[in-house]
């Protein structure tokens, strides 16, 4: 079998680029070339394909920011490529921006947090001494802080969402420009170097330092005249290896314990020509395969249409996946977001959004497990539940420097005997680590649901736990 595509029954009516999964199960979508954001909520049966947009009104837009000068279309804050993340308290962090307000070729410094409950944005100063954030690489660390790379050099900075302050991070071994950060099970962060091909390095939080991480068997960045080499996404697999996808069409597999690389399959389209994932997304599907996308030659001209692939880690092979109904654009315009249903949303800077339903099922050992949860709940109150693997085995979604949309945090879902589905907002996760194994972790959740008997499950990266019965008063 193979996955299938379908159009959302309710198209957004605006062009969508970055998408983030909020901890209440809704999808937070940025409108192309605009300060505006929108929200997609699943219907009463939990269907995103039949979901509704901006129920109750759209979220607050990005606020104007005086750090964006008039020459970069400021103070309007309307980025196209920027740092983004959902944090452990459920808020949204965004920073920087490229191509501000439509077509101003600029790298901005704006930093802000969105509170989904208050529907407000709050701005914060940028890292001290930086003159740009732009489309910087970033990664939420296991302790909830955000590691951000300076696009014009090898400096890094770390944002603390609790104190709302920046601290200087350690200097990388090469420039951050165009690189992809991937969180590993030991809390370190892997990146393939784009300015020092074919090198790689890791950030180690315990020593607050970057260390060498070997060399890829084949070059992964795709150099273009006068530019730093572009690269594709990198996905942590359930077996602990990282599948790194090169903009060159080459792929490689990193084994963290051995600190070694192995060659992966080359991406070729139906004609046998190399496919180039230059600034392109990928998603770890619940079945353990990786959905990714590439563009045809000439790679440095960023052509379309997109070709979709599924990588099978067991056989170390790539197969061409079914094409979506609307994929004329190049790969860099695509965004892929994994949903709690195990489906994948595709946006491509267009007014159509499509949904991919993969085949197969997750292995039993990949599921989160609820070990403790109150069995009587009152609507309007908050509770804590505990379990194992509540943050999943991977960040699951990767793009690189232009957009980060990781989903390694728990979402709580209720379903009753009539098939009604309600998502409960989670917050204050005890960790943002991945592949936490047998360690018991926890999250809080707020109950807003009708009275009755429900089956409660925790979902992470599209994989649901076995359900426990609860009663809502």
Mean pLDDT of the region 286-305: 96
Strand partners, 115: 120
pLDDT of 422-466, one tens digit each? 999 999 999 999 999 999 999 999 999 999 999 999 999 999 999
Pairing label, strands 251-255, 260-263: antiparallel
Two tokens, residue 30:
């940025």
Percent of the chain at pLDDT > 70 equals 100
Instruction: Tell me: pLDDT of 50 over 90.
Output: yes
Going 66 to 67 to 71 to 77, the CA torsion angle's sign is: negative
Of residues 350 and 95, more confidence is placed in 95
Model confidence at 119, pLDDT cuts 50, 70, 90, reads: very high
Distance CA(456)–CA(272), nearest Å, equals 47
**Residue 203: pLDDT over 90:** yes
Chain-centre distance for alpha carbon 209: 24
Q: What is the pLDDT of residue 270?
A: 94
| Bridge partner residues of 113 (DSSP) | 93, 122
For the cut 60, the answer to whether the pLDDT of residue 1 exceeds it is: no
Residue 360: per-residue pLDDT: 95
Least confident of 45-49, 224-228, 263-267, 355-359: 224-228
pTM for the whole structure: 0.97
**pLDDT beyond 90 at 470:** yes
Q: What is the model's pLDDT at position 148?
A: 98
**Does 32 score more than 90 pLDDT?**
yes
Cis peptide bond upstream of 304, omega within 30: no
In this prediction, residue 326 has a pLDDT band, given cuts at 50, 70 and 90, of confident
Rounding to the nearest 10 degrees, give the CA dihedral for residues 256, 257, 258, 261: -20
Query: Strand locations in 393-466, DSSP E?
Result: 397-398, 411-415, 421-424, 426-427, 440-446, 452-460, 463-464
Tell me what the mean pLDDT of segment 307-313 comes to: 98
Average pLDDT of the segment spanning 25-39: 97
pLDDT digits (tens, 9 = 90+) for 103-115: 788 899 999 999 9
Per-residue exposure over 138-172, b if at least 16 CB sit within 10 Å of its own CB, e if not:
bbbbbebbbbbbbbbbbbbbbbebeeeebeebbeb
Query: Could you tell me which CATH number the domain at 364-472 has?
Result: 2.60.40.10
Judged against a pLDDT cut of 90, whether residue 202 lies above it is answered with yes
Residue 106 has a pLDDT of 86
Average pLDDT of the chain, as a whole number: 96
Mean pLDDT computed over 245-257: 98
Query: 3-state class of 332 per DSSP?
Result: helix
């Amino acid at each position: 079998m193979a996955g299938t595509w379908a159009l959302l029954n309710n198209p957004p009516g605006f062009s969508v680029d970055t998408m983030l999964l909020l901890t209440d199960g809704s999808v937070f979508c940025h409108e192309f070339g605009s300060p505006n954001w929108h929200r997609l909520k699943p219907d009463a049966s939990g269907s995103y394909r039949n979901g509704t947009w901006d129920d109750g009104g759209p979220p607050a837009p990005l606020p104007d920011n005086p750090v964006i000068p008039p020459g970069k279309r400021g103070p309007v804050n309307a980025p196209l490529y920027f740092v983004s993340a959902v944090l452990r308290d459920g808020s949204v962090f965004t920073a920087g921006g490229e191509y501000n307000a439509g077509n101003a070729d600029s790298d901005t410094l704006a930093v802000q947090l969105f509170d989904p409950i208050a529907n407000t944005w709050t701005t914060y100063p940028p890292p001290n001494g930086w003159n740009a954030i732009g489309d910087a690489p970033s990664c939420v660390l296991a302790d909830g802080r955000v590691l951000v790379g300076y696009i014009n050099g090898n400096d890094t900075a770390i944002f603390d969402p609790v104190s709302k302050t920046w601290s200087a991070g350690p200097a990388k071994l090469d420039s951050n420009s165009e690189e992809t950060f991937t969180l590993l099970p030991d809390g370190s962060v892997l990146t393939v170097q784009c300015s020092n091909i074919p090198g790689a390095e890791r950030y180690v939080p315990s020593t607050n330092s970057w260390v060498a991480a070997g060399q890829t068997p084949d070059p992964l960045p795709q150099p273009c005249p006068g530019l730093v080499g572009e690269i594709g996404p990198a996905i942590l697999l359930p077996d602990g290896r990282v599948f790194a996808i090169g903009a060159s069409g080459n792929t490689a597999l990193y084994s963290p314990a051995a600190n070694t690389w192995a060659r992966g399959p080359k991406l070729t389209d139906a004609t046998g020509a190399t496919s180039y994932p230059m600034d392109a997304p990928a998603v770890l599907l619940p079945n353990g395969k990786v959905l990714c996308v590439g563009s045809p030659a000439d790679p440095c001209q960023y052509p379309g249409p997109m070709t979709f692939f599924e990588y099978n880690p067991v056989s170390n092979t790539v197969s061409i996946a079914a094409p979506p109904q609307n994929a004329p654009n190049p790969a860099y315009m695509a965004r892929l977001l994994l949903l709690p249903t195990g489906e994948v949303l595709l946006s491509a800077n267009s007014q159509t959004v499509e949904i991919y339903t993969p085949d197969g099922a997750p292995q039993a050992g990949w599921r989160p497990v609820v070990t403790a949860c109150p069995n009587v709940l009152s609507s309007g109150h908050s509770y804590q539940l505990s379990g194992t693997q509540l943050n999943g085995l991977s960040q699951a979604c990767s793009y690189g420097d232009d957009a980060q949309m990781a989903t390694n945090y728990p979402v709580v879902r209720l379903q009753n005997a009539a098939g009604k589905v309600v998502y409960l907002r989670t917050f204050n996760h005890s960790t943002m680590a991945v592949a936490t194994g047998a360690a018991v972790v926890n999250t809080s959740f707020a109950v807003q649901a009708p009275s009755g008997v429900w089956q409660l499950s925790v979902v992470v990266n599209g994989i649901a736990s076995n359900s426990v019965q609860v009663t809502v008063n």
